[in-house]
Amino acid sequence: MSSPIEDYALIGDTHSCALVGRDGSIDWLCLPRFDSAACFAALLGDPGNGRWRLSPNEVTATRRRYRPGSLVLETEFDTPSGTVRVTDCMPAPSGGPDQRRRVVRLVEGLTGQVEIDVELVIRMDYGSVVPWVHRMGEHLVAIAGPEALALHTDVRVRGHNLTTVGRFTVGPGERRSFVLTWYPSHQPIPSAINAANAVEATDTWWRAWSGRSAEVAVSERPEWNEAVSRSLITLKALSYQPTGGIVAAATTSLPEAIGGVRNWDYRYCWIRDATFTLYALLKAGYEEEAAAWRDWLIRAVAGRPAQMQILYGPAGERRLTEYTVDWLEGYEGSAPVRVGNAAHTQFQLDVYGEVMDTLDVARRVGLPADKEAWAVQRALLDFLESHWQQPDEGIWEVRGPRRHFTHSKVMAWVAFDRAVRAVEEAGVEGPLQRWKAARTAIHAEVCDHAWDPTRRTFTQAYGSSELDASVLLMPQVGFLPATDARMKGTVAAIEKHLLRDGLVMRYTATDVDGLPGGEGAFLPCSFWLADVLALQGRHADAVRLFDRLLDLRNDLGLLAEEYDPVAQRLLGNFPQAFSHLSLVNTAHNLSPAGGAAVHRGGRTFS
């Protein structure tokens, strides 16, 4: 059985990443990209599906941390005979066309004499393919078709039952190193590297990157600043350096409910995250990364507006065909395991608003203009003018009938509002009166059809009695002030009906997507509630909720998509970019300078 989700740490190199358990086992690794097939898939199966364990047999206590401002992980194991430290990282990107990806593990004795076991189980294609393993010079090489892994170590290892094993002892000051390198099998075996030097170079790279935001203090409370810094590092780790895309999570198929079937592949880039991402990066001073994300967005959505997708691959790929990996039993038996995401074929109105909003923010903060950006936006608006009246699948990507979802209509309003703003403030050309008319029509329709006067709340969809936390975003995008009586009524209804142990559920309906089973509290929704509470002047309530959310992070500051308030554990794919984006933006929203909740729908940004 896999470890609890919160027991995992993330290491990565802005191309791919790995999850390292508290027990010293790497149970998830996809190479050479985030969305590549896993060569360690024990996270979603068992050790026989691939893992790399490096730890003492008898452990009495475990401590771990990231080095400050870094993604270099240090885990200390206490044993009856002494203490040892394992340092894990994926070396920082060197730039250029280098296709090789590496995982470095360094073992150092601290006290006493500690015996360490090595178990390396390489299984390509999500745990299904046993590679051909043989020794070539100083490397142990595993080949399966087009890809290969080469292990270089100063520890004697041997083959046993299609597994590479070893045992060694370290004393104070002694070191042993392991470097596992992925490369295309038709290329020469990569030269060995110095593991200790790679660790230090990686640590230096991350500290230099995170140091760029060190002067952007969010709060006088150190724990808030630390949480923001760690979230920004996590977002950088989830970014795909060659293109600027940022994947939603490191994993696929971690369940929204243990034993349930809502197990989705999140190793792709969602348009919905665009504006939140831009604000988080810009508020921290990362204009280069913000511009790269903006440029990725323009390239990804370019083409026929009717064919715009809600998500794309890390390089902008469109074909994300979904299939199930039947030989994996799923995390704690939560099947099926899915690869790809069928939601890429869905029609969702809100993404048109996200694109317009993101590019509006980019223009207002003075990011270098993209000469094609306005042409792309004009084409999207032309399509939206004749399609905003249609039902869609909505923000939660329901796999049921299309509906007139409130959030979708609000974001269609955002699209025309930002277009009007561009004409009036930036002097670009466009049919101003038509866009104003569309904006007015959508606003009136939402206020008429999505408002329940009896319950005094906006509902999930036109004519629905269900509540939906996505309407909490209405003030942030400028649709209505947070102090509007209708928003106050909506917040009161959400606090009464959607809170579970103080955390926000996405919606009240249990079968909104036509699939059985429940789910945990969706963490971004809880951050959105804190944002609205702050805008309504309930600052103390907002701070209490934010502090509660910070307490849900694991010991390394990482968040998943959801949290089960009954079992008190993280749920869903991990670590989740949307959760960390929301953390960063809410921290700014609660600061004196304000953040996206103050500026997104307004005319200022700072």
Domain with CATH 1.50.10.10 in the chain: 212-599
Question: Residue 283 has what pLDDT?
Answer: 87
Structure tokens of 195? 């593991």
Helix H or strand E segment including 350: helix 350-364
Pairwise CA distance, residues 84 & 170, whole Å: 8
**Which tens digits make up the pLDDT trace of 455-500?**
999 999 999 999 999 999 999 999 999 999 999 999 999 999 999 9
Question: Residue 606 has what pLDDT?
Answer: 36
Pairwise CA distance, residues 330 & 492, whole Å: 38
How far from each other are the two terminal CA atoms of the chain, in whole angstroms? 47
Give φ, ψ of 385 to 5 degrees: -55, -35
Helix H or strand E segment including 384: helix 373-385
CA angle 147, 148, 154 (to 5 degrees): 165
Residue of higher predicted confidence among 99 and 515: 99
Question: Residue 493 has what pLDDT?
Answer: 97
Instruction: Indicate the Cα dihedral angle 319, 320, 323, 328, nearest 10°.
Output: 140
Asked if residue 174 lies in contact with residue 108, where contact means CB atoms within 8 angstroms, the answer is: yes
Mean pLDDT of 513-532: 83
CA 138 to chain CA centroid, nearest Å:
37
**Which tens digits make up the pLDDT trace of 140-181?**
999 999 999 999 999 999 999 999 999 999 999 999 999 999
Instruction: Indicate the Cα dihedral angle 368, 475, 584, 526, nearest 10°.
Output: -150
CB count within 10 Å of CB 518 equals: 11
Is residue 231 predicted with pLDDT exceeding 90? yes
Question: Residue 601 has what pLDDT?
Answer: 63
CATH T-level fold of 5-187+194-209: Beta-galactosidase; Chain A, domain 5 (2.70.98)
Residue 351: name the closest of 323, 313, 377, 315 by CA.
Answer: 377
**Which tens digits make up the pLDDT trace of 527-584?**
999 999 999 999 999 999 999 999 999 999 999 999 999 999 999 999 999 999 999 9
Pairwise CA distance, residues 344 & 84, whole Å: 46
Pairwise CA distance, residues 203 & 108, whole Å: 17
Helix H or strand E segment including 245: strand 245-246
Question: Residue 216 has what pLDDT?
Answer: 62
Is residue 240 predicted with pLDDT exceeding 90? yes
Asked if residue 65 lies in contact with residue 76, where contact means CB atoms within 8 angstroms, the answer is: no
CA 277 to chain CA centroid, nearest Å:
10
* In the block, residue with structure tokens 């630390």: 226
> How would residue 448 be classed by pLDDT, with cut points 50, 70 and 90?
very high
Structure tokens of 306? 């009717």
Pairwise CA distance, residues 234 & 595, whole Å: 20
Which residues are CB-contacts of 166 (< 8 A; sequence separation ≥ 6)?
A: 117, 118, 153, 155, 156, 157, 158
Pairwise CA distance, residues 583 & 81, whole Å: 41
> How would residue 604 be classed by pLDDT, with cut points 50, 70 and 90?
very low
Structure tokens of 67? 């080095």
Mean pLDDT of 381-396: 95
Helix H or strand E segment including 82: strand 82-89
Instruction: Please give the mean pLDDT across all residues of the chain.
Output: 93
Structure tokens of 381? 């608006």
Question: Residue 98 has what pLDDT?
Answer: 64
Structure tokens of 444? 């009136």
DSSP 131: P
Mean pLDDT of 18-37: 98
Amino acid of residue 239: S
How far CA 550 is from CA of 381, 384, 557, 579, 585, in Å, comes to 39, 39, 8, 11, 13
Q: Given CA atoms 7, 10, 11, 16 in this order, what sign does their dihedral have? A: positive
CATH T-level fold of 212-599: Glycosyltransferase (1.50.10)
Is residue 224 predicted with pLDDT exceeding 70? yes
Domain with CATH 2.70.98.50 in the chain: 5-187+194-209
Burial pattern 351-379, b for ≥16 Cβ within 10 A else e, equals: bbbbbbbbbbbbbbbebeebeebbebbbb
